[in-house]
Structure formats: structure tokens, C-alpha cells
Amino acid sequence: MVSDRSGHRSAGSGGTVPHDEGMADGVAGNEGWSKLGAEPGLCGRCRHAKVNETRKGTAYLRCTRAAWDERLPRYPRLPVRECVGFEPG
């Protein structure tokens, strides 16, 4: 269940950063996305995704839809490839 991907620190030298022109709306701080350390997959284009950053500089993705849709995990394992709640943002 637990993958060693969590807690993995990215070297920070770039890589694949989700950067779509169309997603400026709805995502408050774009900065955190580059700190996720994993490709977000569908969540990267979903209006329900929110990236939170801890004081330590770790970023994690929270699914805001999970607050009312119990089919979804609040903190989805990335990358998300299929999701019943996905809505393009």
C-alpha cells in the first residue's frame, strides 16, 4: 500500500511540471504544484484539486471534492489516472 514515493524529495531541477495555459483559474498558488514531487495526473487539470504547502516546504495535493463526495480520497495517491469526480478546471 505504501509506496516509497511519498517522502521522496525532488532534486528540484525541473522535470515535468504541469503548466497548462488554461488552469490559471481556480488554483490559487501555482507554486506548490512544482513541489509535489509526483506528477498529479488528472488532478493537475481538475477544478477540485488544491495544493497545500507545509512550513517545511512539502507540498501535498488535496481533493476538495472529497469533502462532500465520499467516493474520493481527501489526499489522492498521485498520479491519478482515473477519477469519478474529475472535472476539468
3-class DSSP assignment, residue 17: coil
Question: Contact between 65 and ligand SF4 (CB under 6 A)?
Answer: yes
Question: Contact between 46 and ligand SF4 (CB under 6 A)?
Answer: yes
- DSSP one-letter string for 48-65: TEEEEE-TTS-EEEEEGG
Question: Contact between 36 and ligand SF4 (CB under 6 A)?
Answer: no
Question: Contact between 23 and ligand SF4 (CB under 6 A)?
Answer: no
Best CA proximity match to 49, nearest among 15, 5, 18, 11: 18
Query: Taking contact as CB under 6 A, which single stretch among the options 11-19, 30-38, 51-59, 72-80 is the one that binds ligand SF4?
Result: 72-80
Query: Taking contact as CB under 6 A, which single stretch among the options 1-9, 11-19, 29-37, 44-52 is the one that binds ligand SF4?
Result: 44-52
